[in-house]
Structure 1
Amino acid sequence: MFWIKNGRQYREQTSQKISWGHWFAFFNILWAVAIGSRYAFLIDWPHTFLGRLYFFISILGHFSFIAFGAYLLVLFPLSFIIKNERTFRGVSVIIATIATTLLLVDTEVFSRFNLHLSSVVWNLLVNPENGELSRDWQIFFTPMPLMLLAQMLFSRWAWYKLRSLERQKWIRGVGVLLTGLFITTHLIYAWADAYLYRPITMQKSNFPLSYPMTARTFLEKHGLLDKQQYETTLDQEGRPDTPMIHYPKQALSYEPVENKPNLFIITVSGLRQDAVQKEKMPALTEFAEKATQFTHHYTTGSSNNAAITGLFYGLNANYTDSLLNHKQTSVLIEKMQQDGYQFGLFSATNFKPSIFRQALFHQMKLPKLKAKNSQIDNQSAVKNWQVWFKQKSADQPWFSYLNLDVGELTRQQHLPTEAQEQAFYQAQLTQLDHQISLILADLNAQQALENTAVIITGEQGYSFQKTEEALLNYFAPEEIHVPMIVAWKELNTGEEDKLTSHIDVVPALMYNLFWVKNSNADYTQGHNLFDHTQSPREWALVSNYRWNVIITPNGTQYHIDNKGNYQKYDRTYQPESSNRPPLGLFLDVYQQNSSFMEK
């Protein structure tokens, strides 16, 4: 009889704790939704009714699922393990208080870095190297006693009112509604992701622990989605979850310039830093010796779009998708249009990278894009430039951009051995060097260099025996270390060995050629490439949609992806063991990455 009575009592107590747990979970759902509503003021608010409706549906569905899921995974098992109801409620209150406090902290993390809490971000917050920041974050733990008190009061009230609460029928309807909202959230997002409805897809990372469902593979399998068309749209308009961009932050103003300078930029896809040698490219090397050569220069990414983002916008490659989506042109291009510059735009790839037509030059008439399999023709691009250069008006300032390519041209040959690929690549460099010599001869013939800034650089380097897929997350020096050669009458000739990046070009041109009054922070993330009074860069950033790669002056690389994975590489791109990430550097990168995001 004792065992029967004891067993019945255990079941009744457990049943009471489970019933209480349901109401406690519901209380914390309300807490989570109330705190999570702060994200509405931190994100780029959608401009459509459906986008706004999705936000309200998702906040209710997501946080109800997270709160009730935590109850099922943690508190429900504890109701069987912890026999004493006071101890059980005490443990539940402590766990709930910690969770709600972390959610409050996460809202502030998201506000500052556009990231959610992770192990790396947490280490940044408590980093002893930055005591002021650590003290700043401690403020967000001050509401913890009040939260604890509220949890304790509800815990006690719900326990003594349990019989009355158990008679409430509406709670079941609320549970069904919240479950339905959670399912609806994922179904709506799956539809939006398949059809690139950005007012919804840009909300993908609004909330912590949010992993919306996608159904592209299912839709492709059943003929409801054209994969090729989807990828084309993605290439042209950027990733569907890209945030809004606020660029420039302020309207730009300029000092008057009497003798407006000309600007000529040549970019070569596949041009490595070690190619600028007399044995490989004598004409370019001779030009570099009479100009300023930045020998420790890095591109902003291992793709054409990423490189152009850095070079023409002064922004790191994380903003490429935002620029594509919002068709945002560069402040540099806008300034020259306002000043009545003559434009001469030429491309060996017929402006194939999507950023040219979709963003940078979207207001200009470019030649129609040829078929994907069309051959790259550097020679024709140079000839077309020569014709334009001779016919342009001498009474107006001019801007010319010449886009050449030796990397893709080499990779198209599908050469079986590295030796053959190197030989073909060198042959392409020889041809390119000859074409550059023709360009320089025309510039000298018209004495154009007297009032023209000439920039020759690589979009990205070239790695032998690598496929396009392998290059997506490959950041070896031969891929990202590129030449930067600038000829400008106000610069000294010779080599500069300071660490520089593509994002440093725009502030240099805007200040030294066009005399902008605004500070760099209004329109760029870069430093003035031509300014010798500034402190040298402590790091440069190369990135893509997944990885941020920090490069230090000694060539060491620190990689961190959007999931918090971390790896260190030495200057030869060999992985090194590193138990302690450079938290201060990561903090600087996170702050810079969010500097032009609209909130």
Structure 2
Amino acid sequence: MVDSGNTYRDKVSQLISWGHWFSFFNIIAAMLLGTRYIAQSGWPETLLGQTYQLFTWIGHFGFLVFAVYILIIFPASFIIPSQRLMRLFAVLVATAGLTALLLDIYAYQTLHLHLNPLVWELLLSGEKTDMNAHWQYLFVVVPAIFLLEIAMSEWVWRKLRKLSRKRVGVPIATVFSLCFIGSHLIHIWADAFLYSPVTAQRSNFPISYPMTAKTFMEKYGLLDRQEYQARRDELGQQDSEVIRYPLDSVSFASNANSYNQNLLVVMVESLRADMLDPVVMPRLNEFANNNAKFEHHFSTSNDAMAGIFGLFYGLPGSYAQSARTEGLSPLLIDTLDNKKYAFGLFSADNFSNPIYYQSVFGKHLDTAQRFEEKASWLADDQATDALNTWVNASDTKAPWFAYLELKSVTNYEQGGDYTRPFQPSLDNELASVGDHTALVLKNSYNNAAYYVDELLGDLFDSLEANGQLDNTIVIVTSNHGTEFNETGSNSWGANTNYSNYQLQVPLVVHWPNKAPQVIEAYSSHLDIVPTLMESMLAVDSPAELYTSGRNIFELADKPRKWVLAGDSRDIVVVQPDKTTVVDKFGNYRVYDSNYKQQPEGKPQLSVLMQVMHELKRFYHPEEQ
């Protein structure tokens, strides 16, 4: 098409018409590149999930490209007078857009994240890694994209009159609009009714923010908020991916049947690491001194559910929602079941945390002993006595697995009729004095820990008296710690920050025929499963098939440099000198060893790359 000196209005009209068609072909190009997200995320199994993905693929990329046109190219059509200059500008914008899309695809395939502050930090880091080397190769294709855009621009300009006569613009726009609106309507319904094949796709594409309308639906009687919350609590978070766990079947050593040690796991909820001392918990401390004591042990989260998950699955807390949604039982529990272990499950609150009955213990909870609802300190005493009775009545020829969950430390504010050597506490008149708040709460917490210590001491004595300790592995730990604002950030209790007060917990391990030892190396709840699978159950398959942890008794020779924690919202990397927290939007914060934020702190690329790999390894096993 030759410019014949049309008026300004005619030139603008031509450029707008050209811009529409140029944008349409760029939508097609973006959709073709977008198939990489679908290949990476997988094809849904249900018809509605497949329909939603198809509608989103068409509607979302149509919206993204058309938004760029409306916001940038369309206004420029009125400002830039020359059609050649205007087309060059549009080509540059399109080239930049497709290049950014390629970078996002690479980040999604490599880290399973879209472009965000963390990804840019990783890409622009000066560290020499394979990722930095590979992503720079992407810019080799930028000239090719630029040339293709020029060719597309020229072809559309020459064919503009013929394309305009086809009058297919309205039908094409209608298809994109219906797909865009339809995808959001489907997601509104899926979000309200917790339909996971749809909600699990909410982050498949870049800059994707599917619509929700729970408040609107509630206002017009289409949704019962209380019923919705109850269903959500029951089912867990539904926007989770399908995991493959374990990655492959595990095998056992030829002499595995000769391993028949009993296993007792004691979970003292909310017990922080510094409670393990001769003053607050003297009997547990004595028990630790005669066995294996881990000085720097960390839970997988500051949250109860994710902490329990990490202990039994050996996987980071980010996988918890997927396992919970699918009702996926831990390999450790399945193995104990297959080896005909007798199960004895005792909890002061009857395993009220959904992670227990949805995935960890499942059918085994049908045989768990139930206790009357009462004060935590009484329930703890009752549960400990019931465990002791069950162990003494067990068939000595059959190995057993027992789990004891104690709640007095978590519910320390309730107090109880037990010895309270630490004063002033909540039962003291000084408890109402504002200046003593932290001291009063901490003393009440110490008193609860002191009481639990008495229960544990009596339990250990009983096990030793009846000869059970000689053939029983005993693990004492906690799901997370507790803070009393020691960081000065107005943080109390748990699930408020990722300081050592909330993440670091005790770990005491009694292993028959092992000499007492103190292990200074950093350990994690992730390490419990591989330790038991290898050293107790004689699994000879690589631990990488079923866990992110390592055998705790090998850490002294090969200490880890960092510990992974967090949940579905945050990624937490704990190192001796700093803690790095990355939220789900890619924003990161770096704290020193005292959990003081370092404004100039930067994440370590090599470590974060290992972390990202571990967080997606069981979602995408084909990449191993």
Match of 2:135 in 1: 137
**CA apart distance, 1:108:** 2.8
- Change in 2 beyond 3 A, CA 1:561/1:441: same
Query: Is the deviation greater in 80-89 or in 281-290?
Result: 80-89
Q: Is the 8 A contact 1:116 1:208 kept in 2?
A: yes
Match of 2:71 in 1: 73
Q: Deviations over 1:362-387 (max 9, x none)?
A: 13233699999864321111111111
2:492 is the alignment partner of 1:494: no
What are the within-5 Å matches in structure 2 for residues 32-71 of structure 1? Answer: 32-71=30-69
Q: Tell me the distance in 2 between the aligned counterparts of 1:156 and 1:463.
A: 65
**CA apart distance, 1:307:** 0.8
**CA apart distance, 1:10:** 2.2
- What SS class does the counterpart of residue 542 from structure 1 fall into? strand
Match of 2:281 in 1: 281
2:514 is the alignment partner of 1:516: no
Q: Is the 8 A contact 1:265 1:455 kept in 2?
A: yes
- Change in 2 beyond 3 A, CA 1:412/1:566: farther
Match of 2:184 in 1: 186
Q: Tell me the distance in 1 between the aligned counterparts of 2:496 and 2:229.
A: 19
2:307 is the alignment partner of 1:326: no
Q: Deviations over 1:396-431 (max 9, x none)?
A: 111111111234312567986333322321221121
- Change in 2 beyond 3 A, CA 1:276/1:22: same
Q: Tell me the distance in 1 between the aligned counterparts of 2:268 and 2:105.
A: 43
Match of 2:240 in 1: 242
Q: Deviations over 1:107-160 (max 9, x none)?
A: 232122211122321332343312432222233333333322221111001112
2:514 is the alignment partner of 1:480: no
What are the within-5 Å matches in structure 2 for residues 140-539 of structure 1? Answer: 140-255=138-253, 256-257=255-256, 258-366=258-366, 375-376=375-376, 377-411=379-413, 417-464=437-484, 471-532=494-555, 534-539=557-562
Please tell me the residue identity of whatever aligns with 1:591. H
Q: Tell me the distance in 1 between the aligned counterparts of 2:317 and 2:280.
A: 30
Q: Is the 8 A contact 1:242 1:321 kept in 2?
A: yes
Q: Tell me the distance in 2 between the aligned counterparts of 1:36 and 1:54.
A: 15
- Change in 2 beyond 3 A, CA 1:351/1:97: same
- What SS class does the counterpart of residue 410 from structure 2 fall into? helix
**CA apart distance, 1:557:** 0.9
Query: Is the deviation greater in 413-422 or in 336-345?
Result: 413-422
Please tell me the residue identity of whatever aligns with 1:558. T
Match of 2:566 in 1: 543
Please tell me the residue identity of whatever aligns with 2:579. Q
**CA apart distance, 1:467:** 10
Please tell me the residue identity of whatever aligns with 1:361. F
Give the unaligned 5+ runs of structure 1: none
Match of 1:97 in 2: 95
Q: Is the 8 A contact 2:297 2:506 kept in 1?
A: yes
- What SS class does the counterpart of residue 459 from structure 1 fall into? coil
Q: Is the 8 A contact 2:481 2:494 kept in 1?
A: no
Q: Tell me the distance in 1 between the aligned counterparts of 2:553 and 2:234.
A: 33
Query: Is the deviation greater in 452-461 or in 84-93?
Result: 84-93
**CA apart distance, 1:95:** 1.8
Please tell me the residue identity of whatever aligns with 2:265. I
Q: Deviations over 1:195-231 (max 9, x none)?
A: 0001100001000000001112222333322323322
- Change in 2 beyond 3 A, CA 1:502/1:259: closer
Please tell me the residue identity of whatever aligns with 2:305. N
Q: Tell me the distance in 2 between the aligned counterparts of 1:165 and 1:310.
A: 59
Q: Deviations over 1:286-319 (max 9, x none)?
A: 1010011111111011122111111111001001
**CA apart distance, 1:519:** 0.9
Q: Aligned residues: percent identity? A: 35
**CA apart distance, 1:165:** 1.8
- What SS class does the counterpart of residue 157 from structure 1 fall into? helix
Q: Tell me the distance in 1 between the aligned counterparts of 2:227 and 2:491.
A: 20
TM superposition score normalised by structure 2: 0.90
Q: Tell me the distance in 1 between the aligned counterparts of 2:64 and 2:375.
A: 53
- What SS class does the counterpart of residue 530 from structure 1 fall into? helix
Q: Tell me the distance in 2 between the aligned counterparts of 1:520 and 1:17.
A: 61
Q: Is the 8 A contact 1:270 1:406 kept in 2?
A: no
Q: Is the 8 A contact 1:332 1:510 kept in 2?
A: yes
Match of 1:9 in 2: 7
**CA apart distance, 1:510:** 0.8
Query: Is the deviation greater in 115-124 or in 303-312?
Result: 115-124
Query: Is the deviation greater in 372-381 or in 27-36?
Result: 372-381
**CA apart distance, 1:391:** 1.0
Q: Tell me the distance in 2 between the aligned counterparts of 1:19 and 1:407.
A: 70
Q: Tell me the distance in 2 between the aligned counterparts of 1:412 and 1:152.
A: 73
Q: Tell me the distance in 1 between the aligned counterparts of 2:70 and 2:93.
A: 13
- What SS class does the counterpart of residue 186 from structure 2 fall into? helix
Aligned length: 593
Q: Tell me the distance in 2 between the aligned counterparts of 1:565 and 1:408.
A: 31
Please tell me the residue identity of whatever aligns with 2:93. I
Q: Tell me the distance in 1 between the aligned counterparts of 2:146 and 2:158.
A: 19
- Change in 2 beyond 3 A, CA 1:250/1:430: same
- What SS class does the counterpart of residue 381 from structure 1 fall into? helix
Match of 2:596 among 554, 570, 574: 574
Q: Tell me the distance in 2 between the aligned counterparts of 1:128 and 1:443.
A: 57
Q: Tell me the distance in 2 between the aligned counterparts of 1:107 and 1:372.
A: 54
Q: Over the residues paired in the alignment, what is the CA RMSD in angstroms?
A: 2.4
- Change in 2 beyond 3 A, CA 1:277/1:409: same
Please tell me the residue identity of whatever aligns with 2:62. S
Please tell me the residue identity of whatever aligns with 2:383. A
Q: Tell me the distance in 1 between the aligned counterparts of 2:342 and 2:371.
A: 29
